[in-house]
Amino acid sequence: MLRTLISGFLLISQLAFTSIVIAAPKSVSLVYEVARHGQPFATVTETYQQKNGRYRIESVTKGVDAYALFGERKITSEGEVTSQGLKPSHFELHQGENEKKSLFADFDWAANRLTMKVKGKSTKVPLEKGTQDIVSFAYQFMFSPPKSGALTLPVTTGKRLRVYNYVVAERNVPLELPAGKFKTVHLVNASKDASDDQKELWLGAEAYSLPVRLLVVDENGMKTEQTLTSLHAE
Protein backbone atom coordinates (compact mmCIF):
# COMPACT_ATOMS: atom_id res chain seq x y z
CA MET A 1 0.00 0.00 0.00
CA LEU A 2 2.81 2.41 1.02
CA ARG A 3 4.78 1.55 -2.13
CA THR A 4 1.68 2.26 -4.23
CA LEU A 5 1.18 5.64 -2.54
CA ILE A 6 4.84 6.58 -3.02
CA SER A 7 4.74 5.49 -6.68
CA GLY A 8 1.58 7.52 -7.18
CA PHE A 9 3.16 10.58 -5.55
CA LEU A 10 6.29 10.30 -7.72
CA LEU A 11 4.15 9.95 -10.83
CA ILE A 12 2.13 13.04 -9.93
CA SER A 13 5.36 14.97 -9.25
CA GLN A 14 6.81 13.88 -12.60
CA LEU A 15 3.61 14.82 -14.41
CA ALA A 16 3.53 18.19 -12.66
CA PHE A 17 7.11 18.98 -13.71
CA THR A 18 6.41 17.73 -17.24
CA SER A 19 3.50 20.14 -17.51
CA ILE A 20 5.74 23.02 -16.35
CA VAL A 21 8.45 22.13 -18.86
CA ILE A 22 5.87 21.84 -21.64
CA ALA A 23 4.36 25.18 -20.63
CA ALA A 24 7.74 26.91 -20.67
CA PRO A 25 8.87 27.81 -24.20
CA LYS A 26 11.99 26.21 -25.67
CA SER A 27 13.00 29.40 -27.43
CA VAL A 28 12.51 33.04 -26.43
CA SER A 29 13.67 36.29 -28.03
CA LEU A 30 13.23 39.56 -26.15
CA VAL A 31 14.15 43.16 -26.91
CA TYR A 32 14.07 45.95 -24.33
CA GLU A 33 14.57 49.69 -24.45
CA VAL A 34 16.54 51.08 -21.52
CA ALA A 35 16.06 54.69 -20.43
CA ARG A 36 17.47 56.91 -17.70
CA HIS A 37 15.16 59.62 -16.44
CA GLY A 38 13.04 59.01 -19.53
CA GLN A 39 15.90 59.33 -22.04
CA PRO A 40 16.74 56.18 -24.07
CA PHE A 41 20.37 55.19 -23.74
CA ALA A 42 20.55 51.48 -24.65
CA THR A 43 18.79 48.46 -26.12
CA VAL A 44 18.96 44.96 -24.65
CA THR A 45 18.51 41.91 -26.86
CA GLU A 46 18.15 38.53 -25.15
CA THR A 47 17.74 34.97 -26.37
CA TYR A 48 16.86 31.86 -24.38
CA GLN A 49 17.34 28.39 -25.88
CA GLN A 50 16.48 25.06 -24.27
CA LYS A 51 17.51 21.70 -25.75
CA ASN A 52 18.16 18.20 -24.39
CA GLY A 53 17.76 19.27 -20.78
CA ARG A 54 20.20 22.18 -21.16
CA TYR A 55 19.67 25.92 -21.54
CA ARG A 56 21.67 28.88 -22.79
CA ILE A 57 20.84 32.57 -22.34
CA GLU A 58 22.59 35.40 -24.13
CA SER A 59 22.00 39.06 -23.29
CA VAL A 60 23.58 41.87 -25.32
CA THR A 61 23.31 45.53 -24.33
CA LYS A 62 24.16 48.19 -26.91
CA GLY A 63 24.33 51.88 -26.09
CA VAL A 64 22.65 54.42 -28.34
CA ASP A 65 24.17 57.70 -29.52
CA ALA A 66 27.07 58.75 -27.26
CA TYR A 67 26.56 55.69 -25.03
CA ALA A 68 27.61 53.44 -27.91
CA LEU A 69 31.22 54.48 -27.16
CA PHE A 70 31.18 52.30 -24.05
CA GLY A 71 30.94 49.17 -26.23
CA GLU A 72 28.62 46.19 -25.96
CA ARG A 73 27.93 44.40 -22.73
CA LYS A 74 27.48 40.68 -23.33
CA ILE A 75 26.28 38.23 -20.69
CA THR A 76 25.88 34.48 -21.11
CA SER A 77 24.46 31.87 -18.77
CA GLU A 78 24.23 28.15 -19.37
CA GLY A 79 23.30 25.08 -17.39
CA GLU A 80 20.66 22.42 -16.79
CA VAL A 81 16.87 22.47 -16.76
CA THR A 82 15.77 20.46 -13.71
CA SER A 83 12.63 19.73 -11.73
CA GLN A 84 13.26 23.03 -9.91
CA GLY A 85 13.84 24.96 -13.12
CA LEU A 86 17.15 26.48 -14.18
CA LYS A 87 20.39 25.27 -12.60
CA PRO A 88 23.29 27.41 -13.88
CA SER A 89 26.72 25.90 -14.41
CA HIS A 90 28.64 28.80 -16.00
CA PHE A 91 28.23 32.58 -16.24
CA GLU A 92 30.23 35.23 -18.10
CA LEU A 93 30.00 39.02 -18.44
CA HIS A 94 32.09 41.05 -20.88
CA GLN A 95 32.08 44.83 -21.26
CA GLY A 96 33.41 46.00 -24.61
CA GLU A 97 37.05 45.11 -25.25
CA ASN A 98 38.12 45.72 -21.66
CA GLU A 99 39.03 42.30 -20.29
CA LYS A 100 39.56 43.81 -16.84
CA LYS A 101 35.81 44.27 -16.63
CA SER A 102 35.05 40.63 -17.50
CA LEU A 103 33.39 38.51 -14.83
CA PHE A 104 33.08 34.73 -14.58
CA ALA A 105 31.21 32.38 -12.26
CA ASP A 106 31.26 28.59 -12.11
CA PHE A 107 28.68 26.61 -10.15
CA ASP A 108 29.94 23.36 -8.58
CA TRP A 109 26.70 21.88 -7.30
CA ALA A 110 28.30 18.57 -6.26
CA ALA A 111 30.69 20.39 -3.93
CA ASN A 112 28.22 23.22 -3.13
CA ARG A 113 30.83 25.77 -4.18
CA LEU A 114 30.57 28.93 -6.29
CA THR A 115 33.78 30.22 -7.88
CA MET A 116 33.79 33.84 -9.06
CA LYS A 117 36.66 35.29 -11.07
CA VAL A 118 37.33 39.04 -11.29
CA LYS A 119 40.50 40.50 -12.88
CA GLY A 120 42.09 37.06 -12.81
CA LYS A 121 41.48 36.60 -9.09
CA SER A 122 39.18 33.80 -7.94
CA THR A 123 36.89 33.85 -4.92
CA LYS A 124 35.12 30.74 -3.65
CA VAL A 125 31.99 30.86 -1.49
CA PRO A 126 29.39 28.29 -0.40
CA LEU A 127 26.78 27.73 -3.10
CA GLU A 128 23.28 28.24 -1.78
CA LYS A 129 20.41 26.10 -3.00
CA GLY A 130 18.52 27.72 -5.87
CA THR A 131 21.25 30.24 -6.69
CA GLN A 132 20.89 32.01 -10.04
CA ASP A 133 23.00 34.56 -11.90
CA ILE A 134 21.89 38.07 -12.87
CA VAL A 135 20.49 36.96 -16.22
CA SER A 136 19.13 33.48 -15.44
CA PHE A 137 17.06 34.59 -12.43
CA ALA A 138 14.55 36.37 -14.69
CA TYR A 139 13.96 33.22 -16.74
CA GLN A 140 13.59 31.10 -13.60
CA PHE A 141 10.16 32.72 -13.19
CA MET A 142 9.00 30.72 -16.24
CA PHE A 143 9.31 27.60 -14.07
CA SER A 144 8.47 29.12 -10.68
CA PRO A 145 5.95 31.96 -11.07
CA PRO A 146 5.89 34.07 -7.88
CA LYS A 147 3.24 33.21 -5.34
CA SER A 148 1.84 35.62 -2.78
CA GLY A 149 4.20 36.88 -0.11
CA ALA A 150 7.95 37.28 0.00
CA LEU A 151 10.53 35.87 -2.40
CA THR A 152 14.14 35.13 -1.47
CA LEU A 153 16.49 34.88 -4.44
CA PRO A 154 20.22 34.06 -4.05
CA VAL A 155 21.90 35.64 -7.09
CA THR A 156 25.53 36.02 -8.18
CA THR A 157 26.56 39.18 -9.98
CA GLY A 158 29.86 37.59 -10.94
CA LYS A 159 31.59 39.65 -8.25
CA ARG A 160 29.69 38.38 -5.25
CA LEU A 161 26.78 36.25 -4.12
CA ARG A 162 23.94 38.13 -2.50
CA VAL A 163 20.34 37.50 -1.54
CA TYR A 164 17.62 39.60 -3.17
CA ASN A 165 14.31 39.95 -1.36
CA TYR A 166 11.09 40.77 -3.18
CA VAL A 167 7.43 40.82 -2.25
CA VAL A 168 4.39 40.52 -4.51
CA ALA A 169 2.82 43.99 -4.30
CA GLU A 170 0.00 43.56 -6.83
CA ARG A 171 -1.45 41.09 -9.30
CA ASN A 172 -3.33 41.60 -12.57
CA VAL A 173 -1.75 45.02 -13.09
CA PRO A 174 -2.49 46.13 -16.68
CA LEU A 175 0.43 47.60 -18.65
CA GLU A 176 0.44 48.88 -22.21
CA LEU A 177 3.96 48.71 -23.61
CA PRO A 178 5.56 48.89 -27.08
CA ALA A 179 5.48 45.05 -27.14
CA GLY A 180 1.72 44.99 -26.43
CA LYS A 181 -0.78 44.89 -23.59
CA PHE A 182 0.09 42.75 -20.58
CA LYS A 183 -1.52 41.63 -17.36
CA THR A 184 1.34 41.69 -14.86
CA VAL A 185 2.50 40.64 -11.40
CA HIS A 186 4.24 43.55 -9.67
CA LEU A 187 7.27 42.72 -7.47
CA VAL A 188 8.97 45.29 -5.24
CA ASN A 189 12.23 45.22 -3.32
CA ALA A 190 11.71 44.06 0.26
CA SER A 191 15.32 44.41 1.42
CA LYS A 192 15.87 46.08 4.79
CA ASP A 193 19.30 47.32 3.70
CA ALA A 194 18.90 51.06 3.20
CA SER A 195 21.93 51.15 0.86
CA ASP A 196 20.25 48.81 -1.65
CA ASP A 197 18.92 50.22 -4.89
CA GLN A 198 15.13 50.20 -5.07
CA LYS A 199 14.09 47.62 -7.66
CA GLU A 200 10.70 46.79 -9.11
CA LEU A 201 9.73 44.14 -11.66
CA TRP A 202 6.55 43.58 -13.62
CA LEU A 203 6.20 39.98 -14.85
CA GLY A 204 3.87 39.12 -17.72
CA ALA A 205 1.28 36.82 -16.13
CA GLU A 206 0.28 35.52 -19.56
CA ALA A 207 3.75 35.92 -21.07
CA TYR A 208 5.48 33.01 -19.30
CA SER A 209 6.11 35.23 -16.23
CA LEU A 210 8.95 36.96 -18.07
CA PRO A 211 9.85 40.54 -17.04
CA VAL A 212 8.11 43.08 -19.26
CA ARG A 213 9.19 46.14 -17.25
CA LEU A 214 11.96 46.78 -14.72
CA LEU A 215 12.64 49.90 -12.69
CA VAL A 216 15.74 50.65 -10.61
CA VAL A 217 16.26 53.76 -8.50
CA ASP A 218 19.80 54.07 -7.13
CA GLU A 219 20.91 55.80 -3.93
CA ASN A 220 21.33 59.07 -5.84
CA GLY A 221 17.78 58.99 -7.18
CA MET A 222 18.82 57.99 -10.71
CA LYS A 223 15.93 56.12 -12.37
CA THR A 224 16.69 53.40 -14.91
CA GLU A 225 13.76 51.76 -16.66
CA GLN A 226 13.82 48.72 -18.93
CA THR A 227 10.73 48.28 -21.10
CA LEU A 228 9.84 45.37 -23.38
CA THR A 229 9.54 46.32 -27.05
CA SER A 230 9.47 42.85 -28.64
CA LEU A 231 8.70 39.29 -27.53
CA HIS A 232 8.76 36.06 -29.53
CA ALA A 233 8.45 32.61 -27.96
CA GLU A 234 8.13 29.09 -29.32
Please say whether the beta carbons of 158 and 91 come within 8 A.
Answer: yes
Structural domains of the chain, count: 1
Q: What's residue 194's pLDDT?
A: 55
Q: Is residue 90 part of a domain?
A: yes
Between the CA of residue 146 and those of 29, 67, 113, 158, what are the distances in Å?
22, 34, 27, 24
Name the most confidently modeled range: 34-38, 111-115, 195-199: 111-115
Instruction: Kindly report, residue by residue over 127-166, the tens digit of the pLDDT.
Output: 999 999 999 999 999 999 998 888 999 999 999 999 999 9
Q: What's residue 198's pLDDT?
A: 85
Please say whether the beta carbons of 129 and 113 come within 8 A.
Answer: no
Q: Which domain holds residue 195?
A: 25-233
Angle at 58 between CA 55 and CA 63, to 5 degrees: 165
Q: Is residue 119 part of a domain?
A: yes
Instruction: Please compute the mean of the pLDDT values over residues 94-99 and round it to a whole number.
Output: 84
Is the whole-model pTM more than 0.75? Answer: yes
DSSP 164: E
Q: Is residue 228 part of a domain?
A: yes
Q: What's residue 6's pLDDT?
A: 34
Q: What percent of the chain has pLDDT over 70?
A: 87
Instruction: Kindly report, residue by residue over 53-93, the tens digit of the pLDDT.
Output: 999 999 999 988 866 767 899 999 999 999 899 999 999 99
Q: Is residue 134 part of a domain?
A: yes
The number of beta carbons lying within 10 Å of the beta carbon of residue 170 is 11
Local structure of 21: helix, strand or coil:
helix
State the chain's mean pLDDT as an integer.
87
How many H-runs (helices) and E-runs (strands) does the chain carry?
2, 15
CATH of the domain at 153: 2.50.20
